Amino acid sequence: MGIPGARFPVVIEALPFVEYVSAVMRAKDLMNTDIVTIREDASVSQLCDVMQAAHANGLPVLNAQDELVGIVTEDDILYGTMGVFDKDGRTVLVRDIMTSPAICATEDTDVVELSRMLSGMRIHRIPIVLDGRVMGVVTALDVVRAVAEGALS
């Protein structure tokens, strides 16, 4: 095939069809939906039992209406109680040591923003919420795993 008036033959090939898809990974693609939570009125002793059984080092904290009110970690236990689970004759509760409010995100938050939140705030987990209810949790390990498996590049 040539171009009229050209001094030499010009071959024009059809360009391959390239489909550009926005492949932004979102929290809903990474989050763990099999989560363990704790009530704010649970004792720190109960919290330790739950965390040990779940092999977790941090949990979302819920109120009586199942709404996210905070997050509690091993560091909160260590520094919030200094190893004493009873103070002045009363049991130390999760609400006494939790971090509140919890830093959280929605299912549509992209992984880059989640990564910025994790690193910028020096946190290890972000509860994913919908209307105040915990739908899942994204951890720093979830992001690292996605990179290692090639889901993120």
DSSP-derived pairing of the beta strands 68-73 and 90-91: unpaired
CATH number at residue 113: 3.10.580.10
Residue 2 lies in a domain: no
- Sheet (strand 38-39) strand order: 38-39, 58-62, 68-73
Q: Is residue 42 part of a domain?
A: yes
On whether residue 72 sits in a domain, the answer given is yes
Q: What is the pLDDT of residues 5-63, one digit of tens each?
A: 444 444 445 445 444 344 678 899 898 999 999 999 999 989 999 999 999 999 999 99
Amino acid identity at 141: L
Tens-place pLDDT, residues 58-117: 999 999 999 999 999 999 988 876 656 666 657 889 999 999 898 999 999 999 899 999
Q: Please, what is the Cα angle at 133 between 129 and 138, to 5 degrees?
A: 35
Q: What is the pTM of this model?
A: 0.75
> What pLDDT, on the 0 to 100 scale, is given for residue 84?
62
**133: its two tokens:** 């209810």
Predicted local confidence at residue 108, as pLDDT: 92
Look at residue 12 and tell me if it is in a domain: no
Predicted pLDDT at 89: 59
Total count of domains within the chain:
1
68 part of a folded domain: yes
pLDDT tens, residue by residue, 105-149: 999 999 989 999 998 889 999 999 998 899 999 999 988 888 887
Beta strands in the chain (DSSP E): 38-39, 58-62, 68-73, 86-87, 90-91, 125-130, 133-139
For residue 1, pLDDT over 60 is answered with no
Indicate whether 55 belongs to any domain: yes
CB burial class (10 A; 0-12, 13-18, 19+) of residue 87? exposed
Contact 10, 2 (CB under 8 A): yes
State which residues form the domain around 101: 27-148
Answer whether residue 5 is part of any domain: no
Task: Flag whether 7 is in a domain.
Answer: no
